[in-house]
Amino acid sequence: MARVKYVESDVDLVARMMRAEAEGEGKLGMLMVGNVIVNRLKANCLDFKDLRTISHVIFQIQGGNYSFEAVQKGNVFYNRARSVEKRLAKQTLNYWREHPSKYALWYFNPYAPCPPTWYGQPFAGQYKQHCYYEPKANTCEGVYRW
């Protein structure tokens, strides 16, 4: 059973986002970005209330900007997804979860050491150049559900 409901167009969106945000971090880095997308859909809390589809997550606007920099800047996100990224996207949508992105709702590349918090949320860990952040305890139970 999949972690979230999705259709083939969602696989394409997740695959494109994974590539745009983390292609330089290999397959594991792309899986972690995909995991954050799925977590945001499952969370229904904090900045991610009432997101009901993958498209809602990918194209969410916060503070006048898209939540994901790749959508805002356009770069690789607007290229066609390749089969390897689609396979990884399905893996993430169906079952994949691993630390430090297992419960993360945020990630970013600070081009410096990872700060201990990001917008008040605790640091979960780092994979290559990306820092991952989980919600504070007892603030977002949805992200901890399968």
Task: Convert the pLDDT of each residue in 34-51 to its tens digit.
Answer: 999 999 999 999 999 999
Say yes or no to pLDDT of 4 above 90: yes
Report CA 36 to chain centroid distance, whole Å. 3
Say yes or no to pLDDT of 134 above 90: yes
Work out the percent of the chain whose per-residue pLDDT is above 70: 99
| Res 121: pLDDT | 95
| Res 78: pLDDT | 82
CA–CA distance, 57 with 83 (Å, rounded to integer): 22
Q: Please, which pLDDT band fits residue 1 given cuts at 50, 70 and 90?
A: confident
pTM of the complete model: 0.95
Domains of the chain: residue spans and CATH: 8-144 (1.10.10.2520)
Task: Convert the pLDDT of each residue in 53-97 to its tens digit.
Answer: 999 999 999 989 999 988 988 777 888 999 999 999 999 999 999
Q: What is the mean pLDDT of residues 17-43?
A: 96
CA–CA distance, 57 with 47 (Å, rounded to integer): 11
The token pair that represents 91 in the structure block: 């893996």
CA–CA distance, 30 with 119 (Å, rounded to integer): 23
What is the DSSP-derived secondary structure letter of residue 136? P
| Res 20: pLDDT | 93
Peptide bond into 122 cis (omega under 30): no
| Res 146: pLDDT | 74
| Res 73: pLDDT | 83
